[in-house]
Amino acid sequence: MGFIGSNFILRQLRESDDRIVNLDLMTYAGNPRNLESVVDTSRYAFVLGDILDRPLLSRIFQEHTPYAVVNFAAESHVDRSIVGPDDFIQSNIVGTFAILQESRRYWENLTEPNRSRFRFLHVSTDEVFGSLGFSDPPFQETSPYAPNSPYSASKAASDHLVRAYHHTYGMPTIITNCSNNYGPRQFPEKLIPLIILNAMEGKPLPVYGDGKNVRDWLYVDDHCEALACVLNQGEPSQMYNIGGRCEKTNLEVVRTVCGLLDEIFPDSAYCPHESLVTFVKDRPGHDRRYAIDCSKIESELGWRAATNFERGIRRTIRWYVDNRAWVESIRTGAYREWIREQYGLS
C-alpha cells in the first residue's frame, strides 16, 4: 500500500494477467486510497498483516500458490532511521529473513515446472553502496557495499540475506538496486512531494545544507516497468541496477518544481515559488552523491527509462494538484508533528 509497491500492482493488473496478493501492515506510509480503484478486481486480494508473521506467510503461500514474491516491504526514510532505527532493523532485516524462510519452504516443495519458474525479487536501493565524490564513476552491480545510515545499513543486510539464500540453498533470488524514485502516491515526507505541497500552500521549502547533494532521479512508472522486466527475464542470482540517468542536485530539483509551479499557477500569491526556499541544518552523515550505472539491465534485458525529468515532474505535480483528497487523508497530526520536529517548520 506504499509508494512503489502500489504503483507496481496497478501496472501489473493493467499490463499482465497476473493475480496479485498484496500483504501490507498498513504503517504510516501505507494508504488504502493508493489501490482503491482495484479493490473489487477479481485478480487482486489484500491481506492485512506483517511479514514477520510467519504462520500468516505460510497460509498465504498455501492458499494462493504464487509463482513469484516481490519484496517491497521496507522502512525507507533515512531521516526516520536516524531518529528511530529500531523499526528499520525489524522490517528490513528480520522481516526479509522471515519472508525468505517461508518462501524457501514453499519453493522447496514445489514440483516442476513451477519450481524452476519461481522467483524471489528483492527491491533494494542504491544507498547500500555509500556515497560518491563528484568525479567518481556511477555505482555498478559490482560496487562494494558501504552503507552510511541505519536505513541503508538495514537494506544492505537484507540484500546479503537474499544473496545468501541463493548461494546456500539454490533459491532463485534476484536483487534490484534503484535510484531515487518520484511520482504519484509518494508519501510527502520525501523531497519532491514535500516541495510541491509546501510551495502550493506558501510554506517554507526546506533544503538540507547547501542543497548540492546529488541524486539520480527515476520516475516510478519506469521503475515498475524495469521490475516487471527483471521478474520476467532476469537471471536468478543476479543484481540489476535501475536508474534514470538523471543526476541533479537537490537545489536543481527544487528550482525545477518551483519553475513549473510558477508556470501552472501564474496568479499564485506565492510566485515566484523559489522565494520560499529555506536552507536548514544538514542531515547527519548526509551522503553527497549517488549515481547509477544501469547499462547491465539496458544491454541484457532491453530496459531503459522512458520518462525524462521535466515530463515526469509535470505528471507528478499534476497528480498532487488533482488528488487533494489523497493528500488530506495522510496529513494526520502525527505527520505534521514529524515535519515540525525534522525541519523546525510549521
Catalytic site residues?
Answer: 126-127, 151
Strand partners, 139: 292
Q: Kindly report whether the peptide bond that precedes residue 113 is cis, defined as omega within 30 degrees of 0.
A: yes
Grid coordinates given for 325: 483528497
Enumerate residues 6+ apart whose C-beta is below 8 A from 227: 8, 70, 121, 123, 176, 242
How far, rounded to the nearest angstrom, does the alpha carbon of residue 194 sit from its chain's CA centroid?
16
- Concatenating the DSSP letter of every residue in 33-51 gives GGGGGGTT-TTEEEEE--T
Grid coordinates given for 97: 529473513
Q: Which amino acid is at 19?
A: R
Cβ of 82: how many Cβ atoms within 10 Å? 16
209 neighbors 287 (Cβ within 8 angstroms): no
Going by C-alpha positions, the residue among 143, 155, 121 that lies closest to residue 234 is 121
Going by C-alpha positions, the residue among 215, 181, 177, 214 that lies closest to residue 296 is 177
Residue 295 burial (10 A CB sphere; 0-12, 13-18, 19+): middle
Strand partners, 215: 248
d(CA 47, CA 1): 11
- Concatenating the DSSP letter of every residue in 279-301 gives EEPPPTT---B--B--HHHHHHH
Cβ of 337: how many Cβ atoms within 10 Å? 10
Torsion angle in degrees (nearest 10) through CA of 153, 155, 159, 160: 30
Half-sphere exposure of 153 (CA within 13 A, CB side): 12
